[in-house]
Amino acid sequence: MRIPGRPQVEMERDRHGICHVRAAALEDLFYGLGYCHALDRSLQLQLMRILGQGRASELLDGSDAALAIDIFFRRMAWIRGVSEEAARLQPGYRAVCEAYCQGINARLLRKRPWELRMLGVRPEAWTVEDCLLLARMTGYLTLAQSQAEIERLLVELVQAGVGDAALEELFPGLLGGLDRALLQKVQLGERIVPEAVRWHPALSASMASNNWVVAGSRTASGKPMLANDPHLEINRVPNVWYEVSLESPQRYLCGASMPGLPGVIVGRNAELAWGATYTFMDAIDSWVEECRDGKFRRADSWEPFEERTEVIRRKGRPDHTVTFYENLHGVLDGDPRQAGFYLATRWASAEGGARSLEATQKLWETDSVEQGREVLGQIETSWNWVLADREGNIGYQMSGRLPLRREGVSGLVALPGWEPANDWQGFARPDQLPRCLNPEAGYFVTANNDLNRWGEVPAINVPMGDYRARRIEACLEAAGPMQAAEHKAIQLDVYSLQAQQFLELLRPLLPDTPQGKLLAGWDCSYGLESEGAFLFECFYRRLFGLVFGEQGLGAEVAAHLLGETGIPVDFYANFDRVLLAESSAWFGELRREDLFRQAAAEALQVEPRRWGDGQRLTLSHIVLGGKLPRWLGFDRGPIELAGGRATPRQGQIYRSAGRATSFAGSLRMVCDLAEDGLTSSLAGGPSDRRFSRWYCSELAAWQEGSYKRVEPRGE
C-alpha cells in the first residue's frame, strides 16, 4: 500500500504482521516508520505521552493513584527544556525527526483509538519535543530508577542503626564519605520501606537483560553473530517493542523500535548489527541539603531554591497544586521552609536527548564496529552496546552521561551539598567508558554485571550479580562452531549458577526428608516442571528472612523488601555476598551452617509444587486490564514463565510499588552477519488494537521458544 500523505512511501506486512517500509530517501522512510507506529500502537503512543507530561489525572483518571503518578512525573520534569533541546538537533537530523512526527500525525489525527474516545481524550499533534520526552523516560524507567532506590535504602539502613561492618559487607569499598551522624538527621519524604513497616528496635544499637557477540572464529558461518534478549516488564499488552524493516534500494535497517522514538533501538543494517542491555551506571546522586526559610546552605552563605509550582488538573475533582524546590543538585525531597536536612536528587541524563536521536539516525549508514562505537557512545542514557560487522569485527561500548566525582567517593553515599567539592565535576567522555574492540576471548557478554575493568573511569558501583554472565560465557566456551540454534538455546537456558553455589554449601545440611532429598538431587534448572526450583526458592526466601530479618532488620522489614520492592531482585548479589560468607556481622551469634540448616528445616516443610505453578502471569491491556471479562480477550493468559533471577532465561514475577510486575525476555533476537536479516521472538504482537489479528499474535510462539525470520523483502 502507499502511505497516505507521501505516495512515494510503500508499506506492506509480512506473514508475521511486521511492517516493511520502502522509500528512496531517509526522511520518507522515517515518515513511514512514524505512520506504522501510529497505525499499530496509537494507544501506546498517546498514553506514554500523557504519563510523561504528568496529565493522567486530567485526561484519564482523577483518582488518588493517578495523582501520585502525575506528581512523580512532574517531579522528574522530563518535559522541561525539550524545546531548547530540539533546537540543538542538527538541521538534517531535525528534518528526519520532523518527517517521523508527520508520519505519526498522518495516521493519529485521522483515526483516534476508541479507548481514548471512550475516555474523552482528543489526540494532539506529535512533535519532536514528544520524541525527546520519551527518550528521557525510556532511559530512566528501565533500571536507572533502581540506582536511586539503592542510594535511598542506604540512608534508611543508617537510620535503622545498621553498623559500619554490616554496611561494608553489603557495599564493599563504596562507602567513602559516609557521615552517619549527618544521614541520621535526614528527613525522608519518600521511603523504600514505609513508616507502617517498623524497623527492628534492637538495631538502635548496631545495621534484567543479556546480550553477547561472538567472533567469526567461533561460528559455523565464519562471520560474527550477535544475540540480545532485553529483560523488561512483559505483563502488559502491547509489548514495549515494535519490530519493523526500513528499506531503500541501497540499504536496509531492521529490528526493534519503540513507538514514539524515531529509530531502530536494537537490530541491524546490511553491514552492522547492535544489541543493548541496561548498564547499572551510577548516573544518579543525592546530596544532603541543610535548609531553612526556603533556602539551602552553600559554603558559608544561604541561597534560595528555585520554586516550581505545578497545577495538576483532575477529572471530576478539584485541581491539585504542588511545589517543587530545586537547586544545582536536583529536586528536594522536602519543604525547605521547615528547617532541617533533606535529600536533593539529580539524574545526569534528564537534560539531554538530541544526541541520542541523532545517533539512532546515524545507524542507518554506520557500517563498522568502530564507527558504531563512536555513534552509540554519544547516546546520553546508560546502555551496554555489543556490535558486530560483516568485516569480522566485534566490540562493546557503554553509553550514558557518567558524572565525574571527587576522589574517594563512589556516588552511592549522599554527601553534604553545602561543600562545593562534592559537586559533579563534569562528565566522562565516551572513550573513557567501558569499551573494547575484538576481545582476545573471541566473544563479549553483558548481563547487567560489573564491566568496570573495560573502562578508564569506574561507571558501575552496584551491579547485578554475574551469575548470568558467567553462565553465558561457559556456554559459549563449551560450544563448537556456533549457529543460530546455539544462541537460541542460551537465551532459553534455565540453569542457575546462583543455585549451584548455594547448593554446594546446603546439600550436607539438608534434612533427611523427602523434600530434603528432592532438593539435594535438583539439577539447578528452573524449568516449569521443576519441584526442586520451588523448594530452593522456599529455602532462599527463608534464609533471607533469617539473616536480614530476625538477625538483622526485623521480620517485617525483610518481608517487605522481598515482597513489595525490587531491591532484592535488582541487587541480589549484594545480599548473596552476605548469605554465602563464612562469617558475617549479619549472622549475630550464629554460624552460616546453623542459619542454612535452620532455614532448610523450616522452609522445606511445604508440599513440593511445580515451579510453573507459582510463575503464572496475566498480560493486561494498558487501559482496560482487569476491568473487562476475560473472554473478551483484552487480557491474555495467564502464562507460565520458566527461569529465575539468575538464569539466562529470566522469569521473575514480584511486587513493587503495590503492583505485580515481571522481568522476562521481552524480545529475543539473533543476527548472523553472514546473511541478511535476523531471527526474533516477541512476547506479544505488532498491534495494540484488540480486534486486530496482530494483537498478541506471537505470544504462543514466544512461550514455546520459537523464532521467526525478519529480513528485507527486496524489490
Cβ atoms < 10 Å from Cβ of 194 = 10
* Residue range of the domain that includes 331: 146-208+282-350
171 touches 574 (CB < 8 A): yes
Distance, in Å, from the CA atom of 231 to the CA atom of 610, rounded to the nearest integer, reads 23
Ranges of the chain with pLDDT below 70? 142-144, 190-207, 551, 655-659, 714-715
pLDDT of residue 627: 86
Q: Is residue 677 part of a domain?
A: no
pLDDT of residue 204: 29
CA angle 145, 150, 153 (to 5 degrees): 125
pLDDT tens profile 647-664: 999 988 876 656 677 789
By CB neighbour count within 10 A (0-12 exposed, 13-18 middle, 19+ buried), where does 629 fall?
exposed
560 touches 153 (CB < 8 A): no
Query: What CATH number does the domain containing 296 carry?
Result: 2.30.120.10
Q: Is residue 168 part of a domain?
A: yes
Distance, in Å, from the CA atom of 389 to the CA atom of 215, rounded to the nearest integer, reads 10
Give the C-alpha distances (Å, rounded to integers) separating 502 from 139, 310, 536, 583. Answer: 34, 51, 9, 15
Tally the domains of the chain.
1
516 touches 600 (CB < 8 A): yes
- Region of 279 on the Ramachandran plot (φ > 0 left; ψ -120 to 50 alpha; else beta): beta
- Per DSSP, 356 falls in state H
Q: Is residue 655 part of a domain?
A: no
Residue whose C-alpha is closest to residue 354's, from 379, 376, 384, 383: 379
Q: Is residue 50 part of a domain?
A: no
Distance, in Å, from the CA atom of 552 to the CA atom of 200, rounded to the nearest integer, reads 8
3-class secondary-structure state, position 359 = helix
Q: Is residue 190 part of a domain?
A: yes
Residues 6+ apart with CB under 8 A from 154: 167, 171, 412, 413, 414
Q: Is residue 476 part of a domain?
A: no
Residues 6+ apart with CB under 8 A from 246: 21, 29, 30, 32, 33, 252, 253, 254, 264, 364
Q: Is residue 492 part of a domain?
A: no
Distance, in Å, from the CA atom of 21 to the CA atom of 35, rounded to the nearest integer, reads 10
Type and span of the H or E element at 525: none
Give the C-alpha distances (Å, rounded to integers) separating 284 from 148, 346, 354, 555. Answer: 6, 6, 20, 30
336 touches 292 (CB < 8 A): yes
Q: pTM of the prediction?
A: 0.94
715 touches 256 (CB < 8 A): no
Distance, in Å, from the CA atom of 696 to the CA atom of 103, rounded to the nearest integer, reads 24
Type and span of the H or E element at 616: strand 616-621
Q: Is residue 340 part of a domain?
A: yes
Q: Which amino acid is at 597?
A: R
